[in-house]
A and B are shown apart, each in its own frame.
Chain A
Amino acid sequence: RKEVEQDPGPFNVPEGATVAFNCTYSNSASQSFFWYRQDCRKEPKLLMSVYSSGNEDGRFTAQLNRASQYISLLIRDSKLSDSATYLCVVTSSGSARQLTFGSGTQLTVLP
């Protein structure tokens, strides 16, 4: 079983739709959680951290469920520019040097 698992998609949604991605992790000792975004043929970039109480950044909401060991990302009012691959990232020690990346979920927002 992979340490971090994501539905690869692709998710094709119309502009303005709400879309949610889930990610599961296998190591119950995992401490920190993040979502990265990777545009086609570009490098990954940090989108947002995921806090235990859940957190929001504009149209993006991240949730953490430690009991079930999953993380979610909700995108509201999706824009064409949201089209990208979203990578779920987990650390085992709370340190960036122990980051484990999921394989990513591909999102295409259609006009």
Chain B
Amino acid sequence: DAGVIQSPRHEVTEMGQEVTLRCKPISGHDYLFWYRQTMMRGLELLIYFNNNVPIDDSGMPEDRFSAKMPNASFSTLKIQPSEPRDSAVYFCASIMSGLNTGELFFGEGSRLTVL
């Protein structure tokens, strides 16, 4: 079975450019999460969705960040304009509700470098 699929795997861009990260969760999973990981701050939850509806976006750093989930099989995380401090690995993860096993299924991540 396909896992969580993220794209791009790597992106290098210049400060001020728009960045769009994409995620396809595991089919049937109704929760989707966006995390950011850096050496300094570890793994931080940015936002999560339930049945395509944003539930908690308190982790989104600022207005430059936005996330959407237009349908059950696709989500985007957009940064506009990007800044060097946004450089990090961005993970998407999904889970099916009712499975209280604590097992989040992560994608392989999108490694973003903003110059």
Contacts and interface: CB of A to CB of B under 8 A. Distances in A.
Given A87-B43, A96-B31, A103-B42, A43 B99 contact: no
A43 B107 contact: yes
A7 to B, nearest CB: 13
Interface string A97-110: 10111111000000
B34 interface: no
A100 B33 CA distance: 12
B70 interface: no
Interface in A40-66: 42-46, 49
Contacts of B106: 43-45
Q: Which bucket holds chain A's interface residue count?
A: 20 to 34
Contact of A43 (B48, B91, B103): B91
B102 A46 contact: yes
B108 A42 contact: yes
B100 A32 contact: yes
Contact of B42 (A42, A43, A94, A101): A101
Contact of A44 (B43, B95, B100, B101): B43
23 contacts: A34-B102, A44-B43, A44-B104, A44-B106, A46-B102, A46-B103, A49-B102, A91-B102, A94-B100, A96-B95, A96-B100, A96-B102, A96-B103, A97-B31, A97-B48, A97-B55, A97-B95, A99-B45, A101-B42, A101-B43, A103-B41, A104-B42, A104-B43
